[in-house]
Amino acid sequence: MTSPDLAEHPFDLSSQPGAEWWRTAVIYQIYPRSFADSSGDGIGDLPGVTAHLDDLVDLGVDALWLSPFQRSPQKDAGYDVADYCDVDPLFGTLADFDTMLAAAHGRGIRVIVDLVPNHSSDQHAWFQAALAAGPGSRERARYLFRDGKGVHGELPPNNWDSVFGGPAWTRVPASDQATVDATPGQWYLHLFDTSQPDFDWSNEEVREEFRRILRFWLDRGVDGFRVDVAHGLVKDSALPDYTPPTDADALGGGEENVPYWGQDGVHDVYRDWHRVLAEYDGDRALCAEAWLPTIEQTALWVRPDEMHQAFNFAYLETKWDAAPLRAVIDESLRAYGAVGAPSTWVLSNHDVVRHASRLALTEENPQGHGIGPLSPGKPIPDVGLRRARAASTVMLALPGSAYIFQGEELGLPEAVDLPDEARQDPTWFRTAGERYGRDGCRVPVPWSATEPAYGFSPTGASWLPQPASWANLARDRQIGDGASTLSLYTTLLAGRRTHRLGAGRLEWIETHEPGILAFRNGNVTVVANIGSAAIPLPHGSVIATSGPITDGMLPVDTAVWLENGAA
Ligand code: GLC
């Protein structure tokens, strides 16, 4: 593929306060290892992304977010970065990245990349140097090394557990020559896997290094960053003990005053980064992955001098029920609006059960736990898909910016029946199989029903097995089928653009019927039936419907967009 001439870059690179692209964009999450494999090794790659950009143009997205593709031993699917300024050979080269970026920009698609600042890989040169250098060194001060408790330092510095299960501290040998001198030494903190040591963000050297990393990618032309674990960088310096409730979401979110989430000092980091991005043209943006107890608190991450967007996990976690949905939408528009930021909307990503399954779960399922063959309350696929289509129809009509996760436009469910031996999420290993983890939402995308690996890879290899039932969900089966989920998403995204819904204003319509969610955004009326019986379809011409409408009735678990409608 030839790269489009950057001189024909379609963006207006001048800054337009109040009209920046990220305020209204539909951003498509690419999980590179599962998107499209061009090399045939069973792991998706950057040339695979480039090859499918036209499909994303057809779908109608405004921007892409790529999960990590930087150099990494892949202990946590790339969220363990060994070199922040290079591409892992699994995914290609820096030249492949530049080609992909130019090709996306040439098609009017923005690109944001993942930045993982809370921790590096244990294979990062800095961590290796820290192990070698020993206690009290400048090298160790970049991470959180501490002496242990107990007479011989045999106990960890505090009682924290890792997000993936097991202790958050690992003890290292006293010297780098472990085989010669294996005397146990200090402990290091890893909120995630042992292979993901946490940086010490009170260290100016760490801050300076990340400014350099930001500039490295900004200079290459990226439009921004999705910031991993943006609520975790700064820890309470006293490192006090903390025990979360047993049913807590893995990444936090439900609890107040956690000594490693949402500490005040973290905001200085993002103010600093805001200034770095402001040195560049073209409205570059930062999006926070911050799991916090309230929307009000999350809005602190997007104050005018900090980040630009934050994922709306409160929305993602809201049950399929009209009253709580209305409440969370109201609160989102209010709280983000109060700080001058757009709300974002999201239903699926690579860390949660896909919404085509999650919305039909009949048992609680905390974030990160996942579902598998033995999970209680497994979803009924048809119910899940019907609700997912309706939920997406509601979401894509909301003002602000929306995130969609690769494969949700095909209606992919969670792959529930993955064999144990295929699983790769560290959560699965660190909890000895007690939690299935997140592999079920990460299964490679089916492109073509009759090709090996459904067209994901030319050799038929696939790093996680794809369910046999996915032939029917393959993209090529859905193209041209007006009733397919792909057609629904394409219609919704086109309608969102035509009617400028991202930049619109939401006005509730009172129906006084329980289970009905109805609102207007400009000249589009949205009605979702989340009740228990079909209701008469309100007047107006149908722009999009999430499911069949029969005899003028809007069935349960169905949502519709009407033009000039009146509910
Ligand atoms: C974020 C990522 C998740 C990863 C974790 C550790 O939550 O989304 O996939 O495992 O951070 O980096």
Instruction: Give pTM, 2 decimals.
Output: 0.96
- Position 567 scores a pLDDT of 56
Q: How many CB atoms are closer than 10 A to CB 12?
A: 12
The amino acid occupying position 73 is P
- pLDDT value for 4: 40
The whole-angstrom separation of Cα 125 and Cα 17 is 40
**Phi and psi at residue 486, in whole multiples of 5°?**
-60, -45
Ligand 1 binding pocket includes 313 (Cβ within 6 Å): no
Round to whole Å and give the CA distance between 2 and 496: 31
Question: How far is residue 87's CA from residue 94's CA, in Å, rounded to a whole number?
Answer: 6
Query: Which atom in ligand 1 lies closest to the alpha carbon of residue 119?
Result: 12
3-state secondary structure 365-394: CCCCCCCCCCCCCCCCHHHHHHHHHHHHHH
Residues 339-355 as b/e (b if ≥16 CB within 10 A, e otherwise) read: eebbbbbbbbbbbbbbb
Q: What is the DSSP string of 56-107?
A: HHHHT-SEEEEPP-EE---TTTT-S-SEEEEE-TTT--HHHHHHHHHHHHHT
Give the integer Cα–Cα distance in Å for 80 and 395. Answer: 32
Question: In the prediction, which pLDDT does 565 show?
Answer: 65
- Give CA angle at 359 (288, 335), nearest 5°: 35
**Of 244, 227, 225, 236, nearest to 189 (Cα)?**
236
Q: Quick one: pLDDT at residue 146?
A: 97
Helix (H, G, I), strand (E, B) or coil at 162: coil
Q: Using CA atoms, how far apart are residues 100 and 503, in angstroms rounded to an integer?
A: 28
What is the rounded CA–CA span in Å between residue 402 and residue 300?
19
DSSP 444: P
Query: Which of 192, 346, 435 is the pocket-test mutation for ligand 1 (most atoms within 8 Å of CB)?
Result: 192
Burial of 79 by CB count in 10 Å (0-12 exposed, 13-18 middle, 19+ buried)? Answer: buried
Residue segments in the chain with a per-residue pLDDT below the cut of 70: 1-17, 175-183, 565-567
Q: Tokens for 39? A: 């090399």
CA 118 to ligand 1: nearest atom: 12
pLDDT at 2: 38
Q: Which domains does the chain have, with CATH numbers?
A: 4-118+204-489 (3.20.20.80), 125-189 (3.90.400.10), 506-566 (2.60.40.1180)
**Ligand 1 and 76: CB distance under 6 A:** yes
What's the pLDDT at 79? 98
CA distance 548 to 251: 38
pLDDT of residue 13: 45
Is the CB of residue 114 below 6 angstroms from any atom belonging to ligand 1? Answer: no
Atom of ligand 1 nearest to the CA of 349: 8
Confidence at residue 338, expressed as pLDDT on a 0 to 100 scale? 97
Which residues form the catalytic set?
Answer: 228, 289
